[in-house]
Structure 1
C-alpha cells in the first residue's frame, strides 16, 4: 500500500467517518485505527511497551551470575575472584564503547539497524556464556560476557534514542522512568527465578553439574530473544511512522569530542568521583550479595535471592517518584548528600550488626533510587550543551572502568579476607563518595554555582535568559 493510501485508510477510522460503516463497525473502527495510527496515543503506548521490553532481556541476563553464584562457583570450580571476572568482562568493553555507541547508531547503522544488531550481539553473548557452562569451559563463559557487554550498554543507548524520537516534548521524563522501572523488574525477576530454574533443570536431568548450569543459562537467554523480537517490531513501526508522518529517524544527539575533556570543570570531575565511588559499592555488592546473606544471616537460598533483589524492586517503583520530587524541588547536591549518607549507614548496618538485613537493604534501595535521579541531571548544569554527549560518555566510561576494577578487587578481598573486610572496603568507597559530595557542595557555593539551586531559582534564571 502506498503512503497516501495507508494514511487515508487510517484517517478513515476517525470520528467523522465512523458513522458510515455498518452498525457493528464503530467500536472496532475506533480501536483499530488508534492502534495503527502513529500519531495517536494508543499507538505510541504500543511503541512504549516494545521499548520497555527491548531492554528486559539484557537486564535479566546481566545479573545471571549473581542469581547463580553458588552454582557457578561449585560447578565450574572457581573461586570468588574468578567468578567476579564475569562482571569485569562485561564492563571492560564499555570503557570504550560509551564513546562510540552513539556514533555507531547515528552515523553507521541508524537507530533501527543499530537496535537489531546490538540485540543480536546480546543474544550471541548469552548463548556463548551458556555454552561455556555446557562444555565446562570457564574461559568461554568469560568471552560470552565480553560479547554480551558489547551489546548491552549500546542497546540501552538505542532504547533511549527511540524514547526521545517518539516522546520528546511528550511525557519524556515519565517514559525514561518507566524504562528504568522495567529494567529493574528484569533484574528482580532474574535474581528470584534463576535459582528455581536451576533446581528444576537439576531434577529433570537427574544430576547437578556444569551441564545443568549451561542449560539453565540457555533457557534464561529466551528473554534476549524476546528483546530481539521487540527490536524487529520497533524497526517496522518506526519505518512505517517515518513514511506516514514524514518523521525523522531517531538520533542520539550525542556529539563526542574527546578534546572537550580538557575543558571539564572541577565540579564536573567531583561529580564523576561521586558517581564511581558510589556505584562500585552497589553493583559488585549485589553481585556477591546472595551468598553473603546465606552465610552471615543464615538465610535460605530463596530468601537470600529475595532480599538481594529488594534494591531493584524499590528502584523500579520509586525512581519515577524521586525523579518528579527532584524536578519539583531542585537542591540536587542536598539530595545526593542524603542518598550517599543513607547508603553509608546501610553498609555499616550490614557490616557491624546482626539486625534484620531487610532494613539495611530497603534503605539501600531508597538511597540508590534517589541518587540516580539527583546525580545524573547535575552534569547538564555544569557543562555547555555541545559538550553534554562527551561528558555523559566519559561519566559512563569511568563508571564502567571502576566497576571492572572493583569487581576484581572485591573477589580477591572475599577470597583472602572474608565478608567483613569486603564490607569495610565498600564503606571506604561510600565514604570517599560522601567526602566528594561535601567538597562539591563547598566548591559550588564558593563559585556561586547552580547545582544546589531550588527549582524556583532555576525557573527564574531560565525566564530571565529568555527575556
Structure 2
C-alpha cells in the first residue's frame, strides 16, 4: 500500500499540466483574502493539510493486526496462517484495482466523488473488521479487510491526483514527500498506541474478543477523519474550480493491457526485484511483534516499538534519500545496495542475538533507499504512453505476491518456527539480488540507461532537446 504512494510521487511529474490561470475570461472578481484565495500559497497550504490527513486513517488501520498480533491470536483463537489472512484479504482486491482505480477516478466518479467513495470503503471496512471481532466471527473480520482493501490503494491514487492538481512544478516533490511522511506517521502511531488502547479498553469492558473489537472500533475514528478530509477537499476543489475555471484533476494514467507483450526484459527484472524485496518486508512487519517477544524477551510495548522502527526511519529518510538518488543517479547500484543491506538485516535477525534495533534500523534505511531508486527506473525503460500500464502491472503483481507470501509465511511459522521463516525471507531477497545483478548486465549490454549518473542524464536530455529544436 505505502509503495503506490511512493511510486506515484516519483513519476507523476511527467503527467502534470500547466497551472490553470486565475480567470480564463478576464472578468474582474472581488479580491479574496490569502487564506480564501485558491491561487494563493496560504490557501494551498490549508489544502495540503487536508491532503496529508486524507490517507492517515487508512495507513493507521492497515497495520492494526500487526500492532495487536498477540491479542488477535489469543482473543480470536487463531493460528498464524489464519492471522496472516487478514493481510492477504487486503491485497487480493488490489491485484485488479491497481488497473481500475485511476480509470474510476478519471472516467466514472471524478476525483471529488471518487475520493469520498474510497474513504467510505476504508471507513466501512474498518467498521466491519471491528464488528467481526466484537461478535467473535473471524470470517466477518476477513470481509472487513477485503472491503478496506478496496478503498485503501485507490484512496492513495486519489490523494496523489489531488496533489498534482493543486501543486505543480517545483512544489510537487515536496508535497509528495510530506504525504509520504504523514503515511509513515500513521503507521508509526498505530504500532505504538494500539497496545495501550487495548489495555485501557480492557479495564472498562469484558476481556477477550470484545476488548479487541472495541479497540478496533476506536481505531475507525481515524478513518472517519479521512472521510471528513475527503468531504472538505471536495468542497474546496469545487470552489477552486468555480473561481479559477479549472477542470477536475486527472490521474494521467492510460492503462492498455496489450502493452504488456511489449515490455522489455529490463522491466520484467524490475518486477522480480519488486516482488522479491517487498514480500520480505511487509509480511515480516505483520509478524514481527511476537518474534521480538519470543526471541529477544521484549515486553509487548518494546516489541511494538522496535517493529515500528522501519516506518519511523522511513518518514524522514525517504525525502532525503530521494534527493540523493536524484542528484547522484546510478539507480541500479542503489537498488543493489538496498537489497544487500536488507539481506544482511534479516540474517542478523535470524542467526544472531544482537540488539534488534540495529537490524531494524538498517532495514528502515534500505527500505527507504530501494523505494527511491527502484520505482523511477520504470520510466527509464518504457515509453511515456506505457507508464500507466507498467506501474499498474507492477503494483498488481506486488499485491499478488504479498497475498501469497502472507499465507505462506503464516503456514511456515505455524509448522517450522521463526528461524525457518527468516531463512524463507532471506531466500526471497536472494531472488531479488540475482534479479538486480541480471538487471545490471542487461542494462550494460543495452547502453546503461538505468545506471547513468545524474549529470550524464542531464547532458543527454539537453542534447535531445537541442536536436528536437
Q: TM-score, normalised by structure 1?
A: 0.94
- Post-superposition Cα deviations, 1:43-63, rounded to whole Å, max 9, x if no partner, equal 111111111100000000000
Aligned counterpart, 2:296: 297
Give the superposition deviation at 1:177: 1.1
Aligned to 2:29: 8
Superposition RMSD in Å = 1.3
**Offset at 1:355?**
0.2
Q: Match for residue 17 of structure 1?
A: none
Does the residue aligned with 1:8 lie in a helix, a strand or coil?
Answer: coil
Aligned to 1:333: 332
Distance 1:166 1:430 in 2: 39
- Is the aligned partner of 1:158 residue 2:166? no
User: Structure 1 residue 102 and structure 2 residue 105: aligned?
Assistant: no
The 1:7–1:288 alpha-carbon spacing in structure 2 relative to 1, beyond 3 Å, is farther
Distance 2:102 2:66 in 1: 29
Shift of 1:208: 1.2
Q: Where in structure 2 are the equivalents of 1:100-179 lying within 5 Å?
A: 100-179=100-179
- 1:449 shift after superposition: 3.3
* Residue number in structure 2 paired with 1:346: 345
Kept in 2: contact 1:35–1:42 (CA 8 A): yes
Question: Given that residues 7 and 244 in structure 1 are in contact (C-alpha distance below 8 angstroms), is that contact kept between their aligned partners in structure 2?
Answer: no
Deviation for aligned residue 1:443: 0.5
Structure 2 partner of 1:277: 276
Aligned-pair CA distance for 1:7: 7.3
1:237 corresponding residue in structure 2? 236
Cα distance in 2, alignment partners of residues 458 and 368 from structure 1: 25
2:6 — aligned with what? none
**1:174 CA drift (Å):** 1.2
Shift of 1:168: 2.1
Larger radius of gyration: 1
**Residue 462 of structure 2: aligned partner:** 463
Conserved in 2, the CA contact under 8 Å of 1:260 and 1:387?
Answer: yes
Tell me the distance in 2 between the aligned counterparts of 1:90 and 1:434.
27
Q: Output the CA distance in 1 between the equivalents of 2:377 and 2:110.
A: 29
Aligned mates of 1:191, 1:167 — CA distance in 2: 31
Aligned to 1:299, the other structure's residue is in SS state coil
The 1-side partners of 2:170 and 2:53 are apart by 20
CA displacement at 1:89 relative to structure 2: 0.1
* In structure 2, distance between residues paired with 1:439 and 1:50: 43
Partners in 2 of 1:190 and 1:357 — Cα distance? 20
Displacement after TM superposition at 1:271 (Å): 0.3
SS in 1 for 2:450: coil
Distance 1:324 1:34 in 2: 31
Q: 2: CA distance between counterparts of 1:445 and 1:393?
A: 26
Match of 1:426 in 2: 425
Question: Structure 2: which 5+ residue stretches go unaligned?
Answer: 1-22
Which residue is 2:193 aligned to?
193
Asked if 1:77 is matched to 2:77, the reply is yes
Mapped to 2, the partners of 1:166 and 1:350 lie a distance apart of 44
Residue in structure 2 matched with residue 417 of structure 1 by the alignment:
416
Structure 1: gaps of 5 or more residues:
14-32
1:445 aligned residue: 444
- Per-residue CA deviation, residues 279-305 of structure 1 (Å, 9 max, x unaligned), is 000000000001100000000000000
